């Protein structure tokens, strides 16, 4: 929700020292706005919490692939967690050194593995035995050896939305402990691979420190049987508070509980959401109000094509006016809906918001992670622009321009 960067003063919503209304007046809506200051502070908080473990933080580019965001974090010392050749490319474009890139993903293609070998990517996270064979042969041909982590599926059920839980045995992610042991026993067949790490990631938006600890413990127990393994990559998953009253464990609670378990291992982290979610907002304009069938609909110019999370996960994003003259005005229960031709294009259902009128601006908060990253052109809707407020908090710029109708057809022949 609100924080040191996204805040309200004298009725106006601010992103650091910039009035959100001033950005909107120039750029229009819908628009994503990110506070780089907040993202860097979040990064620094995680880095400091895990400093006693000498952990290295790799920002998970899937949460937000804006080059401006990646560059800021890389500049502050972060590595990048990439899950496709495209994300490896983004990471390199953003200035990450190849050595500081972790390349994961359940279905990497031969070409993606080839690209990673060519670029000397620091860590490749393996997800199955066939992938090990493929990577080994590509690396042998290139005359290189690659450092790998094997992704363990720790068979731990995380308390999170089922769509973003990954650590249970039936999931497609990782390998069970038996499968990891069987692969490791064959390591002489893979002279071009250095088996130095184990990787886990049991899910995202984890409310539960204990489940994460159980997964880390499973990784350490297994690592003891793998003498060449010196590194545990514990993935991402630290939660953020989407609701004003949500009490989520702080990252230091995770760090404190994990420290004794992971002692003696080099630790890698892959946080995405906890770095960028609360640094970002999506601003939208009210188009129409509609009352029928006992429901009040506020129809806005952003929809599931811009922010998919409510439609896909029933996710909650706080919605606040960009300017609020009277904070005591009685609230009304409404649905805030987008213009897309889908019944699920609802940004908020039955939400109490202050009175609004057409042309008012509303901001969806905590939208910096998996917002723009999951946007689409469905209904031939151009994607919104991305604005960054620089780390000084005083200047802003358009980091990605609004797509045009011409952009929509640019790839067609
Ligand atoms: N590492 C791995 C292997 C992952 O699969 C993920 C997220 C992360 C790191 C970063 O996790 P984070 O720190 O952001 O929780 N679209 C969903 C979230 C999907 C997460 C997928 N994997 C959402 O909007 O909630």
Which of 1, 31, 62 minimizes the C-alpha distance to 306? 31
The answer to whether residue 341 is catalytic is: yes
Within this chain, do residues 41 and 153 fall inside the same structural domain, yes or no? yes
What percent of the chain lies above the pLDDT cut of 70?
A: 98
Predicted local confidence at residue 167, as pLDDT: 66
Q: Within 13 Å of residue 91, how many CA atoms lie on the same side as its CB?
A: 30
106-139 residue pLDDT tens? 999 999 999 999 999 999 999 999 999 999 999 9
Which CATH number do you get for residue 113?
A: 3.20.20.10
Mean pLDDT of the chain: 96
What percent of the chain lies above the pLDDT cut of 90?
A: 92
Predicted local confidence at residue 298, as pLDDT: 98
Within this chain, do residues 181 and 102 fall inside the same structural domain, yes or no? yes
193-212 residue pLDDT tens? 999 999 999 889 988 899 99
Within this chain, do residues 122 and 268 fall inside the same structural domain, yes or no? yes
State the distance from the centre of ligand 1 to the C-alpha of 271, rounded, in angstroms.
8
Q: Which atom of ligand 1 is nearest to the CA of 201?
A: 3
Within this chain, do residues 261 and 350 fall inside the same structural domain, yes or no? no
State the distance from the centre of ligand 1 to the C-alpha of 412, rounded, in angstroms.
32
Within this chain, do residues 213 and 338 fall inside the same structural domain, yes or no? no
Does residue 353 lie within any of the structural domains? yes
Ligand 1, pocket-test mutation among 165, 268, 272, most atoms within 8 A of CB: 272
279-331 residue pLDDT tens? 999 999 999 999 999 999 999 999 999 999 999 999 999 999 999 999 999 99
Within this chain, do residues 199 and 341 fall inside the same structural domain, yes or no? no
State the distance from the centre of ligand 1 to the C-alpha of 140, rounded, in angstroms.
32
Residue 327: phi, psi to the nearest 5? -65, -15
Q: Could you tell me the CA-to-CA distances from 217 to 157, 261, 351, 360 in Å, in that order?
A: 14, 6, 41, 51
| Residue 290: partners with Cβ closer than 8 Å, 6 or more residues away | 296, 297, 299
77-112 residue pLDDT tens? 999 999 999 999 999 999 999 999 999 999 999 999
- 81 C-beta closer than 6 A to ligand 1: yes
Q: Is the peptide bond between 30 and the residue preceding it cis, with omega within 30 degrees of 0? A: yes
Predicted local confidence at residue 169, as pLDDT: 65
Q: From the candidates 10, 247, 325, 341, give the one annotated as an active-site residue.
A: 341
Residue 212 three-state SS: helix
Cα(234)–Cα(389) distance, integer angstroms? 31
| Residue 260: partners with Cβ closer than 8 Å, 6 or more residues away | none
Does residue 1 lie within any of the structural domains? no
Within this chain, do residues 123 and 259 fall inside the same structural domain, yes or no? yes
Within this chain, do residues 105 and 203 fall inside the same structural domain, yes or no? yes
Does residue 331 lie within any of the structural domains? yes
Nearest CA to ligand 1 atom 9: 236
* Number of structural domains found in the chain: 2
Mark which of 223, 243, 275 sits at the end of a domain.
275
DSSP state of 78: -
Does residue 413 lie within any of the structural domains? no
Does residue 106 lie within any of the structural domains? yes
Mark which of 241, 275, 309 sits at the end of a domain.
275
- 268 C-beta closer than 6 A to ligand 1: no
Which of 280, 276, 306 minimizes the C-alpha distance to 374? 306
Please count the other Cβ atoms lying within 10 Å of the Cβ belonging to residue 358: 11
Does residue 397 lie within any of the structural domains? yes
265-276 residue pLDDT tens? 999 999 999 999
Q: Is the predicted pLDDT of residue 383 greater than 70, yes or no?
A: yes
Within this chain, do residues 317 and 364 fall inside the same structural domain, yes or no? yes
Question: Would you say the pTM of this structure is higher than 0.85?
Answer: yes
- DSSP per position, 375-413: ---GGGPPPPPEEEE-TTSS-EEEEEPPP-HHHHHTT--
Give the pair of three-digit tokens for residue 155. Answer: 């068979």
Tokens 């069970």 found at: 176
- DSSP per position, 280-339: EEEEEEEEEEEEETTEEEEEES--TTT--HHHHH-----EEESB-S-TTSPPEEEEEE-S
Does residue 162 lie within any of the structural domains? yes
Within this chain, do residues 15 and 126 fall inside the same structural domain, yes or no? no
Does residue 307 lie within any of the structural domains? yes
Residue 92 belongs to domain spanning: 36-275
Tokens 């080839």 found at: 114
Cα(383)–Cα(31) distance, integer angstroms? 9
Mark which of 255, 275, 295 sits at the end of a domain.
275
Predicted local confidence at residue 190, as pLDDT: 98
3-42 residue pLDDT tens? 999 999 999 999 999 999 999 999 999 999 999 999 999 9
Within this chain, do residues 404 and 286 fall inside the same structural domain, yes or no? yes
DSSP state of 105: -
State the distance from the centre of ligand 1 to the C-alpha of 67, rounded, in angstroms.
18
Within this chain, do residues 196 and 212 fall inside the same structural domain, yes or no? yes
Which CATH number do you get for residue 375?
A: 2.40.37.10
Which of 185, 191, 290, 273 minimizes the C-alpha distance to 236? 273
């Amino acid at each position: 929700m609100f924080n040191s960067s996204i805040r309200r003063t004298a009725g106006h919503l601010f992103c650091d020292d910039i009035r959100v209304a001033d950005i909107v007046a120039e750029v229009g809506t819908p628009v994503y706005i990110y506070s780089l200051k907040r993202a860097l502070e979040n990064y620094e908080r995680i880095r400091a919490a895990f400093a006693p473990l000498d952990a290295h933080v790799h920002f998970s580019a899937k949460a937000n692939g804006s080059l401006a965001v990646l560059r800021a974090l890389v500049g502050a010392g972060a590595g990048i967690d990439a899950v496709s050749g495209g994300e490896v490319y983004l990471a390199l474009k953003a200035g990450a050194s190849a050595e500081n890139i972790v390349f994961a993903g359940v279905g990497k293609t031969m070409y993606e593995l080839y690209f990673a070998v060519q670029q000397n990517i620091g860590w490749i996270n393996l997800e199955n035995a066939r992938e090990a064979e493929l990577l080994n042969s590509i690396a042998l041909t290139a005359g290189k050896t690659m450092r790998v982590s094997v992704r363990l599926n720790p068979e731990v059920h995380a308390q999170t939305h089922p769509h973003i839980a990954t650590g249970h045995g039936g999931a497609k992610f990782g390998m069970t402990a038996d499968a990891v042991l069987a692969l490791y026993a064959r390591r002489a067949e893979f002279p071009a691979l250095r088996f130095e790490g184990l990787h886990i990631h049991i899910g995202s938006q984890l409310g539960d420190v204990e489940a994460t600890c159980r997964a880390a413990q499973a990784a350490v127990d297994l690592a003891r049987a793998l003498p060449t393994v010196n590194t545990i990559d514990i993935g991402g998953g630290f939660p953020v508070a989407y609701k004003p009253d949500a009490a989520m464990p702080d990252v230091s609670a995770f760090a404190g509980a994990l420290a004794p378990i992971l002692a003696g291992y080099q630790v890698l982290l892959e946080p995405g959401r906890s770095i960028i979610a609360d640094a970002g907002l999506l601003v939208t304009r009210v188009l129409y109000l509609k009352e029928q069938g006992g429901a009040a609909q506020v129809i806005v110019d952003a929809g599931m094509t811009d922010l998919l999370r409510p439609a896909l996960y029933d996710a909650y994003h706080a919605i606040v006016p960009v300017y609020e003259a009277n904070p005591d005005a009685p609230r009304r229960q409404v649905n805030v809906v987008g213009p897309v031709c889908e019944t699920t294009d609802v940004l908020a259902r039955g939400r109490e918001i202050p009175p609004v009128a057409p042309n008012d601006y509303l901001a969806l908060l905590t939208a910096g992670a998996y917002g723009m990253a999951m946007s689409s052109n469905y209904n031939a809707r151009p994607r919104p622009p991305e604005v960054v407020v620089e780390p000084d908090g005083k200047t802003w710029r358009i980091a990605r321009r609004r797509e045009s109708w011409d952009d929509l057809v640019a790839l067609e022949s």
